[in-house]
Amino acid sequence: MQIFQYPSQPEWAALQQRAAAGQAQDVEQRVAQIFADVRQRGDAALLEYAQQLDGADVRAGLRVTPEEMQASQAQVPAELQTAIRQAHANIRRFHEAQRPTEERVETMPGVLCWRRAVPVQRVGLYIPGGTAPLFSTLLMLGVPARLAGCPEVVLCTPPQKDGSVNPVILFTAQLLNITTIIKAGGAQAVAALCGGTESVPAVDKIFGPGNRYVTAAKQLATRYGVAIDMPAGPSEVLVIADETANPVFVAADLLSQAEHGPDSQVILLSDSLAMLEATQVEVQRQLATLPRATVAAQALAESRAILLRTAEEMLFFSNQYAPEHLILAVKNPEQLAEGVTSAGSVFLGHLTPEAAGDYASGTNHTLPTNGYARNYSGVSLDSFLKKITFQRITAEGLHGLGSVVETMAEAEGLTAHARAITLRLETLVSPTQTQV
């Protein structure tokens, strides 16, 4: 990581740049071709892409069978099963507290308004399953989907070389009572969820992370009237560390993010040059011991350590950057956290690693990246709900509200709007005039 000492604010913009996506137009064109192919050929296209892109033969069937589901439990170590069940309980407990309440409000006498939460009827969950099958993400998406009461939940995940699905993903799906599991990955899976095929039900909203092809596919899905959780890109963390931080911990946090992928980004801010230098040394020491050292090293090449003067200046930089994950490794983290306005998820203090939120503390790890934390929230129970407003007006309410609506409608030149009120008021003035 290159150290930048006391950059001026005009220089911050360059330091806050994410790594260039590169070849974006080529990716979009390829994804558009895949969409057209899947929409035209359905399952046949999915079978072909599984062979070409995943090296997997799934001609026996795109859907996971009950027998495959049953066999998965025996293939998952008992210790991992216990850990997943505990994470499931914590995530469920946190998301259960997000249940909305339905409150009826009388805005004026006889005018009653309320809002009701209704689950999205058909949701698709995309779970990567390559070198790092993200069963933790299945928990993060499946738990709120089930709590919201979504009637149909479809899971897409890439098949392994032998045409099977990673047993840990199947075990987690069983825990969540998800039975519609499709052996399909990449942009082709998103295309299938978007339009449906012989084996894949079409959905109303698609959730889940993925590579740049999956990201482009989700964005394309919105043009077909299918919603997505949020724009997403490579994972990232920003750490604010003062002189009280432990360089060993800080380095571990930076590397835990860097090992996600070569396009991940980590940024370290400190008001202590000694802290930056000590962390640099520790990053190199720990990096040498990582199985994914090559991946992490590529990410570090695009990452930065920045020396600033004060905690306030570091927080200002962070709010501009709007990180997916923000770690406050400082003496008074609660005090500094009060000023956070743009971040996906915040981790306070020296004993709160971002890895805890990734897996099992209870908060959701599906978060906005690439600066979208300025205007997007992470996935929550709300992500799986629609809010529908209702209202009912009595005779008393129409008498009180009617002239307000008539006046406003006439002022906008919308006579029919005003007439919809007037005709009703006339029936109230003359009860015998039931037909107009």
Q: How many CB atoms lie within 10 A of CB 228?
A: 21
Candidates 259, 282, 302, 324; catalytic one: 324
Residues 6+ apart with CB under 8 A from 383: 144, 207, 229
Known active-site residue 325: yes
- C-alpha 114/C-alpha 110 separation (Å) is 13
Q: Is 365 annotated as a binding residue?
A: no
Is 88 designated active site? no
CA geometry: angle 232, 233, 236, nearest 5 deg: 110
Q: Is 412 annotated as a binding residue?
A: yes
Distance, in Å, from the CA atom of 246 to the CA atom of 268, rounded to the nearest integer, reads: 13
- Please tell me whether 372 is known to bind a ligand: no
Structure tokens at 384: 């799986």
286 assigned to a ligand binding site: no
Rg (CA), the chain: 26
**350 labelled as ligand-binding?**
no
Does the annotation place 211 within a ligand binding site?
yes
Q: What is the DSSP string of 239-259?
A: EEE-TTS-HHHHHHHHHHHHT
Q: Which residue among 95, 259, 282, 325 is the active-site one?
A: 325
Order of strands, sheet of 104-108, starting from the edge strand that comes earlier in the sequence: 104-108, 111-119, 385-393
* 8 A C-beta contact, residue 390 and residue 115: yes
How is residue 225 annotated by DSSP? T
What is d(CA 379, CA 344) in angstroms, rounded to the nearest whole number? 10
| Annotated binding-site residue? 417 | yes
| Greatest Cα-to-Cα distance within the chain, rounded to the nearest angstrom | 89
For residue 332, how many other CB atoms are within 10 A of its CB? 14
Q: Sign of the CA dihedral 327, 330, 334, 335?
A: negative
Sequence-distant (≥ 6) Cβ neighbours of residue 145 within 8 angstroms: 123, 125, 153, 176, 207, 384
Give yes or no for a contact between 364 and 142, defined as CB atoms under 8 angstroms apart.
no
Q: Is 188 annotated as a binding residue?
A: yes
Question: Which residues have a catalytic role annotated?
Answer: 324-325
Annotated binding site, which residues?
Answer: 126, 188, 211, 235, 257, 260, 325, 358, 412, 417
Annotated binding site for substrate, which residues?
Answer: 235, 257, 260, 325, 358, 412, 417
Annotated binding site for Zn(2+), which residues?
Answer: 257, 260, 358, 417
Annotated binding site for NAD(+), which residues?
Answer: 126, 188, 211
